[in-house]
Amino acid sequence: MRIFGQIRLLLEMIKIEHTVFALPFAFMGALLAARGLPSARQAFFILLAMVGARSAAMAFNRLADRRIDARNPRTADRALPQGLISREATIAFIAVSSLMFVLAASQLNRLSLALSPLGLGVVFFYSYTKRFTWASHLILGACLALAPVGGWIAVRGDIQALPLLLSLTVLLWVAGFDILYSLQDEDFDRTEGLYSIPSRWGRVRAMRLAAWLHGGAGLGFIGVGWLAGLGWLYFGAACLAGLLLLAEHMLLSPADLSRLNHAFFTLNGLIGIILGLATLFSLWP
């Protein structure tokens, strides 16, 4: 029974439920590539690849940051700093998740397989960026931006302007909400010498930059619909996503971050789901 307890703790540690941030965009890329529904086989291996890549990335991040997390009051109760999960178990989980990702990519096409080690390298590299650059928020955005272009490649085996625009839009969206999320660690990051936009430029400027990034993301979601020739259903969803981004910023102020978790998890999770469903029904055969 102990092994099942370890698996439960590992799944809690990597926040498996947060796959909702990237998964809809991977399937958006696949839907746009297929101009409709991808095959059931493609959909299955895209799902497997996404779960594997994200699980490996999150576990690696927790492993790399375990000593920092132990010093941060907000994260000190996580499983690794508390010793509830061993370093060896985490490494094994990373290896299995990475293998699952590469095997899933190998079942899609040659380009997916060829790029899979690069994808893992990018998401692993992110875990160390906060140690030397405030652009870590943009690099996290680039990690999640791999999802839509990866979904496209999984179906078509090539790269075109449409998935690149969607990926750029996801990058702006993720970087914006990661800046907001990092507000709660502003003082800790400054004390520890860690790099983040709030710790470098302060809360007000960080929130202003996040708003500009989200403004660009809102325009990007509309641009994707225009370039893909999607209908009014999608454009309505893109406008709704823009309103949710606006609501996210209205929930927060430099003097009050009490609703940060609601703004971060609920609203951003809804954006991916709404846009993914709108793309699905816009391209439904």
Within 8 A by CB and 6+ apart from 103, the residues are 48
Q: What value does the mean pLDDT take over residues 175-204?
A: 95
pTM of this prediction?
0.93
Q: Domain count of the chain?
A: 1
Measured CA distances, 195 to 38, 74, 163, 216 (Å): 41, 17, 30, 23
Residue 125 has pLDDT above 60, yes or no: yes
Confidence of residue 119 (pLDDT cuts 50, 70, 90): very high
DSSP conformation letters of 111-177 = HHHHHHHHHHHHHHHHHHHTTT-TTHHHHHHHHHHHHHHHHHHHHHSS--HHHHHHHHHHHHHHHHH
CB atoms inside a 10 Å sphere around CB 196: 24
Q: Which residue type sits at 104?
A: A
pLDDT in tens, 126-157: 999 999 999 999 999 999 999 999 999 999 99
Measured CA distances, 208 to 32, 95, 201, 253 (Å): 32, 39, 11, 11
Q: What residues make up the domain containing 243?
A: 2-282
- In the prediction, which pLDDT does 14 show? 59
- In the prediction, which pLDDT does 84 show? 82
Segment (H or E) for 68: helix 66-71
- In the prediction, which pLDDT does 7 show? 64
Contact 172, 243 (CB under 8 A): no
DSSP structure class, residue 265: I
Confidence of residue 254 (pLDDT cuts 50, 70, 90): confident
The position carrying tokens 């020739």 is: 229
- Return the structure tokens found at 240: 């709704």
Three-class DSSP category at 72: coil
pLDDT in tens, 90-99: 999 999 999 9
CATH number at residue 11: 1.10.357.140
Within 8 A by CB and 6+ apart from 225, the residues are 234, 235, 238
Confidence of residue 2 (pLDDT cuts 50, 70, 90): low
pLDDT in tens, 64-84: 999 999 999 998 988 888 888
pLDDT in tens, 43-64: 999 999 999 999 999 999 999 9
Residue 5 has pLDDT above 80, yes or no: no
Residue 195 has pLDDT above 90, yes or no: yes
